[in-house]
Structure 1
Amino acid sequence: MKISRLARFPHPVLEEFTNDYVKGEFEIGIEIAESMKTGALRVHYNFRLTEETLSKHLAEKKAKACLFITCLETYYNRLHQIDSSNGELEVDQGLLSGNVNLLPLIIAAEEGIILSSDKLHEDFHNLKFHLGNGEILAIGNEFQINVGREKLAPIESIFDMAINNDVPPGQYRVNLDEERITILAEKETYTSIYNMRYTAPGKPILLNSVYLPAVMEVLTVLQQDVGSYQDKRWYKVFEAKCAQENVDLANPDLLKDSQKLLKSPFNRVVTLMQELS
């Protein structure tokens, strides 16, 4: 089953982007709770439908409300029936990972349902539509979430270091072609950075002087060419972090988004100065 916003139906569908109905709304508010122990996903939802004819069909069990959940990474593609009120559903561990889409739907639950309403567009006045079981009656706004433990990993964990004497002293380069993002520096600079990583004062300094520019570089490269790196181990964590922080990889705000991904690293410097004063 695949539903596109570009799809057109031979009958009226209540949806934000069509004018099939002149009055009436269908929307679902969603909150996600993810168990980091089991990986199970719990979806809390708040149901709202203001179109009278569709509400009547739901009450009479001629229609049903559903959440269509899809995950390309695990090939999960399933329609979950939900209550036409507030409630929750749970998806077992391991079934979802990475980007997950949730699309609210109202669909016909039996053959021969008759769709007719005075709230339909004038083009549909005096018409009655005889619909089959499974026909879509309403489409809500789609939600996209990111599922998995990757987003909990510290972003520094996807970085590594290596010596490269072609890099000028006091500078560094970023290599994205390995399984971890590799910071390259000549031997003395490498040693200085390496030693600073394991000292309390050194960590906030490195976050701002090395990791912040490195993350900006990663965002710049991915904006231009994301496809070359999707099979790298670091990419999955980085993508999950971006999804969690609402960072658009296709159009990032380099400085602002890099600070979001590193949790406002300058605050670490301020805290350090306060501790030393």
Structure 2
Amino acid sequence: MKNRAIEYPHPVLNEYTNDFDNCAFNLSVGSHSDTGNSIDIELSYSLTGSGIQSLISQGLAKVFIRVVCFRTSFRKVFEMSNEDITVISLPKKNVTDSIDISAAIVAAQNINNYCLPEFNQDYFGGYPGFKLRKGDIIANEPGLTIKLNTILEKNMAGVVFINSNSAITEPKVYFASVEETDPSLTDYITISLPDSEYKNYAKLSTKKHLKNVLARFLQGALVFPAITEAIARLRREEELEEDPDCHYRGTIWAESIYNALNKMGIDELATCNQSDFEIANKLLGDVVGDSINTLMQKMIDWSTIQQEDEAL
């Protein structure tokens, strides 16, 4: 489940606050297996912030994953490995449709003088320190939703992950290949946004009064172009006479798309007369039309409330 903008009585590292300088905490999904009676998912986290890392190394803080399936009321917390990939196993009988996964760093014991060098000095400079109780949140991240089929995505938007990257100044997109070895990039399409854009995206996608009307518009702005390019890459891969340097088929994102294409009656992209644009739009359930209509309706609502444009 996505985080809400909760006010904490102490500095917390997340996308809503400026409590920390030049720090980040992110959760990544690696490979999956769907055999037997369980679904196994590889997870890892990245943490930038020497103070929090030191707390974890000393055993004063721990990283946990919370998994929720709202359709079945399944809830479970897993402790993450500090240095390696964490594999969680979920009984198939206990989950259906989708699962929400979120990560948090919490105090493993009472901390009487919680004061880290990466605290925002404009806010906390000269402050003597905070008292943390065991279980208090130190950092959390927006979380993600995986739609299951059981492990393949039913909704094409689910094969695209969106995260922040403080090292970039413009959006980047990465299409995982079967040769990929970086666990944070395997199996999915990853869109990385600069920090400022990601913070705005997070607000738009998590604020209750915004996300219900802007979800499709955000998919149209970010996910739709990525799926369109994904279709183009799969089409080129089919058309190549020589073996390509990287292979997309076999990744979760590619197999999810092919599974959906088969349901649409498309066996091969190389022989399909429909454009990449048209196919991607159909895979996303006419996201173009929904985006335009949703935005127009929202503009009408705003105009009605603020009486800014009588033409609307």
Q: Shorter-chain TM-score: which interval?
A: 0.5 to 0.7
Output the CA distance in 2 between the equivalents of 1:12 and 1:71: 30
| 1:96, distance to aligned residue in structure 2 (A) | 1.9
| 1:63, distance to aligned residue in structure 2 (A) | 0.6
**TM-score w.r.t. structure 2 length?**
0.49
Output the CA distance in 1 between the equivalents of 2:27 and 2:270: 42
Output the CA distance in 2 between the equivalents of 1:249 and 1:58: 36
CA contact (8 A) 1:47 1:85 kept: no
Moved more, 73-82 or 111-120: 111-120
Amino acid at match of 1:126: G
Q: Does 1:144 align with 2:145?
A: yes
1:175 aligns with: none
CA contact (8 A) 2:5 2:16 kept: no
Please provide the CA RMSD for this pair: 3.5
2:206 aligns with: none
2:131 aligns with: 130
Output the CA distance in 1 between the equivalents of 2:50 and 2:215: 41
Q: 1:250 to 1:57 in 2, by over 3 A?
A: same
Output the CA distance in 2 between the equivalents of 1:98 and 1:71: 8
Aligned residue-pair number: 181
For residues 242-262 of structure 1, give each alpha carbon's deviation from its aligned partner in whole angstroms, at most 9, with x where no partner exists: 2576599956779x79x9733
Output the CA distance in 2 between the equivalents of 1:3 and 1:262: 30
| 1:53, distance to aligned residue in structure 2 (A) | 1.2
2:47 aligns with: 49
Q: 1:268 to 1:81 in 2, by over 3 A?
A: closer
Output the CA distance in 2 between the equivalents of 1:48 and 1:269: 37
Q: 1:64 aligns with which of 62, 65, 85?
A: 62
Q: Which has the larger radius of gyration?
A: 1
For residues 214-252 of structure 1, give each alpha carbon's deviation from its aligned partner in whole angstroms, at most 9, with x where no partner exists: xxxxxxxxxxxxxxxxxxxxxxxxxx6225765999567
CA contact (8 A) 2:98 2:147 kept: yes
Amino acid at match of 1:68: R
| 1:17, distance to aligned residue in structure 2 (A) | 2.9
2:306 aligns with: none
Q: Does 1:75 align with 2:73?
A: yes
Find the residue that maps to 2:126 and give its secondary structure.
coil
Amino acid at match of 2:124: F
CA contact (8 A) 1:108 1:135 kept: yes
Amino acid at match of 1:132: R
For residues 115-144 of structure 1, give each alpha carbon's deviation from its aligned partner in whole angstroms, at most 9, with x where no partner exists: 212211121122201100111101124111
**TM-score w.r.t. structure 1 length?**
0.55
Find the residue that maps to 1:117 and give its secondary structure.
coil
Find the residue that maps to 1:262 and give its secondary structure.
helix
Q: 1:33 to 1:268 in 2, by over 3 A?
A: closer
Find the residue that maps to 1:57 and give its secondary structure.
helix
Q: Does 1:35 align with 2:34?
A: yes
| 1:51, distance to aligned residue in structure 2 (A) | 0.8
Amino acid at match of 2:261: L
For residues 255-274 of structure 1, give each alpha carbon's deviation from its aligned partner in whole angstroms, at most 9, with x where no partner exists: x79x97334745559769xx
Output the CA distance in 1 between the equivalents of 2:101 and 2:131: 28
Matches for 1:228-243 after TM superposition, within 5 Å: 241-243=154-156
CA contact (8 A) 1:146 1:244 kept: no
Find the residue that maps to 2:92 and give its secondary structure.
coil
CA contact (8 A) 2:146 2:158 kept: no
Output the CA distance in 1 between the equivalents of 2:269 and 2:22: 55
Q: 1:108 to 1:242 in 2, by over 3 A?
A: same
